[in-house]
Amino acid sequence: MFTSISVHCRLYLLLVSSSVLLVSFPSDLYAQRSPKAVLSRAEKALGDKKAVRNLESSIKRGLIKRVSDGATGEVLIQTSKPNNFNISFDIRGFETEIGYNGRSGWLRDSREGLKTLTGDRSRDLKAEALYRNWLWTEYKKHKLKITANESITLDSKPSIAITLTNPLGVSIKLYFDAFTNILLREEIGTGEGFVSFDYADYRPVSGVNEAFEITALIDGNQYLMKFDQVVHNQPIGEAEFDFPRDGDQPLPDIPKLLKELQANQEEIERILEDYSYKQDIIKRELTDDGELRIKDSETFQLSFYKGYRIQRLIAKDGMPLSPNEQKKADEDAQDRVKDIEKIIAKEEERAVDQSSDGTPDREGRQISIAEVLKASKLLNPRRERLKGRRVVVFDFEPDPDFDFDNAKSFLKFFGKTAGVMWIDEEDRQVARIEAVLFDSYKVAGGLLAKLRKGASFTLEQERVNDEIWLPTFADINLSVRVLLFGGVRVNQLIRSYDFQKFRTEVEDARVDDLPSTDP
């Protein structure tokens, strides 16, 4: 029996025996091959190049056995490009099903039922789903760092080790046969544990070499899979990867839910001016050796005025600003208030950046989720629990019928995103959102910058003082091509905390009444 969700989420990764001999491998053979050369040879070992490149989907059926007690069952693994993935299996009547549909990842098992994955489990599943469809063949396109690692001998076979690391820091270590270049093992280490997988019994399937025997070593338990059927490029319906329908649960009325969400937004903006909180912005970078490290951090005091955000810098890298730095930061905050007053004055005379429906874009104002979703298709609505609260969850993706040509700028951006959203059912507030940019987004028509496809972000909010939902966490990862300046990568964690309620009137563009940052 599996004893944790991490075991379930990792079993789909596939593969092999605990009886492997780990010894040192001579470095001189490895030194002759760069990581790029190793991956190039490994791709050739996959089979016919054209067949490998044209592989769009795969279906694998067979038996799975838990080695410790010999309990067996059936296993089905399916992939479909670009990043759809699904595995279902049972061991002695205990069923487990895991899937990723390009928007959200989910898990269903006989113990805990059906749920949408969040946090590290969601992040890891997204990375694994992409890898399972493409392996290492498009590591440049997917912006994966490749690094060399210490090699070992596996079942008397010398190997060469390479690690793939994505921009979010998820790593997969691959071991290739030093002579045949075929994949022997995969390893992955996460906060939830360490797993390893070995391949065996390779056979050609429509020009591509597939392993028909896979053993997984997970949390000390060994599982053996043997496939009797492997099929390539057979059409697989999207429903195979979507969140399963629960016939016992009535589906929520999403349009009604979004109307209530919009109505709540107006009340939230009114209450928001009574609150202030601190926010740490932590900048990270993926180093050449595949490590995700912190570059620097800034701490801000946030407050709101007439729906606009006022951000005041109060610390850098965990240290308070010098008196002169703080004076400059306070002056910047004062200038921000003055700018807000000017914007409001102009809006009273005419609409700014008017869109086709006659409503203005207001830079810096809060944008409601209901507005953002106007350019999206809403899919797979379901009811779940998140952090002990009842939530309505649904996937979203770009709506091909939406008129983007005449849309507001923020809709043009969000209309290119896909992901999953959690809405608190009682308060009608967004509790969590995970999204990825489906297509590149051009800023100012591409004249200024281009936000590249694959950008991702995760946002969370929590209920504060039983009256308002405020942001607590954000994880942002994106790559921007800036005109004349080349590429810029943004990798940030944003944590909000120390929420304080106060009441202040901002008059004559003053910031004197902003809450103190003194401990």
Q: Give 312's contacts (C-beta < 8 A, 6+ positions apart).
A: 300, 301, 302, 303, 329, 330, 332, 333, 511, 514, 517
Sign of the four-CA dihedral 256, 258, 260, 262: negative
Structure tokens at 149: 């690692």
- The CB-side HSE value for 415 (13 A sphere, CA atoms) comes to 18
- Residue 380 gets the label, from left (phi > 0), alpha (psi -120 to 50) or beta, of left
State the pLDDT confidence band at 193, using cuts at 50, 70 and 90. Answer: low
Mean pLDDT of 270-277: 87
The mean pLDDT of the chain is 81
Would the pLDDT of 158 be above 70?
A: yes
Q: What element of type H or E holds 143?
A: none
Mean pLDDT of 396-417: 80
Question: Based on C-alpha coordinates, what's the Rg of the chain?
Answer: 26
State the pLDDT confidence band at 260, using cuts at 50, 70 and 90. Answer: confident
Of 250 and 434, the structure prediction assigns the larger pLDDT to: 434
Sign of the four-CA dihedral 238, 241, 243, 248: positive
Q: How far is CA 312 from CA 150, 328, 336, 369, 475, in A?
A: 47, 10, 9, 26, 21
State the pLDDT confidence band at 486, using cuts at 50, 70 and 90. Answer: low
Q: What element of type H or E holds 287?
A: none
DSSP at 350: S
Would the pLDDT of 428 be above 90?
A: no
Q: How far is CA 401 from CA 248, 357, 368, 378, 386, in A?
A: 32, 17, 21, 13, 32
State the pLDDT confidence band at 508, using cuts at 50, 70 and 90. Answer: very low
Strand partners of residue 390: 385
Note the pLDDT of residue 268.
Answer: 78
Instruction: In whole angstroms, give the CA distance from residue 473 to residue 11.
Output: 29
State the pLDDT confidence band at 361, using cuts at 50, 70 and 90. Answer: very low
Mean pLDDT of 122-150: 92
Assign 249 to helix, strand or coil: coil
Note the pLDDT of residue 517.
Answer: 45
Structure tokens at 494: 């944003």
Q: How far is CA 266 from the centre of its chain?
A: 29
Which range (44-58, 409-423, 489-503) has the least confidence? 409-423
Mean pLDDT of 7-27: 37
Structure tokens at 402: 């939406």
Mean pLDDT of 272-288: 90
Would the pLDDT of 509 be above 50?
A: no
Note the pLDDT of residue 226.
Answer: 97
Note the pLDDT of residue 319.
Answer: 94
Mean pLDDT of 470-490: 78
Helical H runs in 224-305? 254-272
Note the pLDDT of residue 358.
Answer: 38
User: With contact defined as beta carbons under 8 Å apart, do 225 and 215 qualify?
Assistant: yes
Task: Kindly report the backbone phi and psi dihedral angles of residue 447, in degrees, each rounded to the nearest multiple of 5, phi listed first.
Answer: -75, -30
Note the pLDDT of residue 246.
Answer: 61
| Cis? peptide before 82, omega within 30° of 0 | yes
Instruction: In whole angstroms, give the CA distance from residue 360 to residue 341.
Output: 16
Note the pLDDT of residue 518.
Answer: 45
Structure tokens at 466: 């039983």
Mean pLDDT of 279-295: 87
User: With contact defined as beta carbons under 8 Å apart, do 135 and 55 qualify?
Assistant: no
Which range (14-28, 74-88, 153-167) has the least confidence? 14-28
- Domains of the chain listed by start with CATH number: 5-240 (2.50.20.10), 254-501 (no CATH)
User: With contact defined as beta carbons under 8 Å apart, do 65 and 71 qualify?
Assistant: yes
Q: How far is CA 118 from CA 9, 327, 503, 506, in A?
A: 12, 41, 36, 40
Would the pLDDT of 492 be above 70?
A: yes
Strands 157-165 and 429-437: unpaired
State the pLDDT confidence band at 16, using cuts at 50, 70 and 90. Answer: very low
User: With contact defined as beta carbons under 8 Å apart, do 91 and 73 qualify?
Assistant: yes
Residue with tokens 């019928």: 401
pLDDT tens for 210-241 read 999 999 887 778 899 999 999 999 999 988 99
Q: How far is CA 155 from CA 23, 25, 384, in A?
A: 10, 13, 45
Note the pLDDT of residue 247.
Answer: 56
Determine whether 247 is exposed, middle or buried from the number of CB atoms within 10 Å of its CB (0-12, 13-18, 19+).
exposed
Mean pLDDT of 29-56: 87
Would the pLDDT of 481 be above 70?
A: no
Which range (84-93, 296-305, 405-414, 422-431) has the least confidence? 405-414
Highest mean pLDDT among 32-36, 366-370, 399-403, 493-497: 493-497
Instruction: In whole angstroms, give the CA distance from residue 141 to residue 133.
Output: 13
Which range (18-27, 32-41, 448-457, 464-473) has the least confidence? 18-27
State the pLDDT confidence band at 173, using cuts at 50, 70 and 90. Answer: very high
Would the pLDDT of 19 be above 70?
A: no
Amino acid residing at 301: Q
